[in-house]
Structure 1
Amino acid sequence: MKLGVIIQARMGSTRLPGKVLTDIGGKPLLSHVIGRLATMRNEAKSVVATSTASENDSIEAWCVSHEVAVFRGDELDVLDRYYRCAIAFGFDNVIRLTADNPFTDIEELDRLIDFHLDGAYDYTHAFGQLPIGVGAEIFTFAALERSHRQGHMPHHREHVNEYFTDHPKCFRIAELPIPVAKRAPALRLTVDTYADWERADNLVKKSSQKWLGTEEAIRLCSYSA
């Protein structure tokens, strides 16, 4: 069984252009995403999946210089990009992350993987209870392949998980239970706007840990409020 982490990344954000390489606490946002993954308990291959658009050459250059695997595919058909990336690397199960989420909870990600594999689910996620941008999702290659084959609506191609959620009777779907101390679904820890970037930068600078933890982030944000 080969487990892969595919991190979708592109420079063309309308609200915060170039955000994936924007500095947060002294290092690019993408560096935070990759650095956290090195602390995973489960063994997985990490790949940054960007598009063939020339504006994303800088993402590939960063990956090459930091010895991070990179795959380039369709700019708008993200489902196709994931599908072809998974084939290229021979993944049996795929964890989907996005490069605008610098605070993925690795402890919960490891629990998510175990929960998914132990339950033999097709699609498992940790959304809805954790802060926005902290959770993750995992799916089998077979489920991804079916989505790629049958998901023809524009939103299915743009959002990798939406064929699963639109057809729950076709897949074994599960949600990871989250500890009470980490439940803060209204808290934004993703980076989509300048205000998000400012919050993330301040949190990294205030953190007492190398990698800001979810409980500390909730505490710091509550204190700031």
Structure 2
Amino acid sequence: MTTGVVIQARMGSTRLPGKVLKPIAGRPLLDHVVGRLSMMRANAVPIVATTVESKDDIIARRCTELGVECFRGSELDVLARFTECARVYALDHIVRLTADNPFTDIEELDRLIELHLAAGNDYTHSFGVLPVGVGAEIFSRAALESSNRDGHRANHREHVNEYIQENPAIFRIGQLAVPAAKNHPEVSLTVDTEADYVRACRIAESRAGCWISTVEALAYDRALH
């Protein structure tokens, strides 16, 4: 049984173009996302899933420099990109991360994978409990294939998880419970805007770069306000 951590990345962000390679604490944002995965206990293959567009050639080159696998697929049909990536790498379970989240909680990611596999879920997530940009989600290959086959609306193709979320009666869905100190879904630690980027830089520079823990990041974020 093979689990992959697939990191969604492209240069063409509308609000903050090129953000996935903008420097944070001296290294590109993508480096931090990939680097944090080295702390995982779970045996999972990291893969960056970018697009076939020429503007994303720079992401593919950075993956080569980092020594991480890179899959290239559709820019706008992200669901197809993930499904095809899962097929190419023969993944049985697929963790989805995005390259604008430098503070993914690896401890909770390991627990998420454990819960997903132990419960035999189709889809398991830690959204709505952890800060925005800190949580993750994991799909079974069968659930991803089903979404790709039956999810035809534009939001299904763009957001990957929404066909499953809209059809809870046909999927076994789980949500991770997290410690109270981390249970702050009202806080956003993602990088979506220039203001987010400035805040992420300040947090990362405050303590050991992006290796900062969720509890430490929350404390520093409160201090910034």
With normalisation by structure 2, the TM-score equals: 0.98
Q: Which residue of 1 aligns with 2:5?
A: 5
- Structure 2 residue aligned with 1:62: 62
Structure 2 counterpart of 1:138, one-letter code: I
Q: Secondary structure at the match of 2:211?
A: coil
| Count of residue correspondences | 225
C-alpha distance in 2, partners of 1:73/1:194? 27
Structure 2 match to 1:149: 149
Query: After superposition, what is the alpha-carbon deviation per residue over 1:11-39, rounded to whole angstroms, capped at 9, x for unaligned?
Result: 00111110000001110000000000011
Match of 1:171 in 2: 171
Taking the TM superposition and a 5 Å limit, the aligned residue runs for 1:1-225 are 1-208=1-208, 211-225=211-225
**What stretches of structure 2 of length at least 5 have no aligned partner?**
none
CA RMSD, 1 decimal: 0.9
Question: How far apart, CA to CA, are the structure 1 residues paired with 2:14 and 2:61?
Answer: 22
For residues 157 and 14 of structure 1, the distance between their equivalents in structure 2, rounded to whole angstroms, comes to: 17
Q: How many Å separate the matches in 2 of 1:183 and 1:123?
A: 20
Report the CA distance between 1:207 and its aligned residue: 1.4
Identity within the alignment, % = 55
| TM-score computed with the length of structure 1 as normaliser | 0.98
Runs of 4+ in structure 1 displaced over 6 angstroms?
A: none
Taking the aligned partners of 1:191 and 1:168, their CA distance within structure 2 comes to 29
Structure 2 CA distance for aligned equivalents of residues 61 and 21 of structure 1: 11
**Residues 24-61 of structure 1: per-residue CA shift (max 9 Å, x gap):** 11100000000000110000001000000110000001
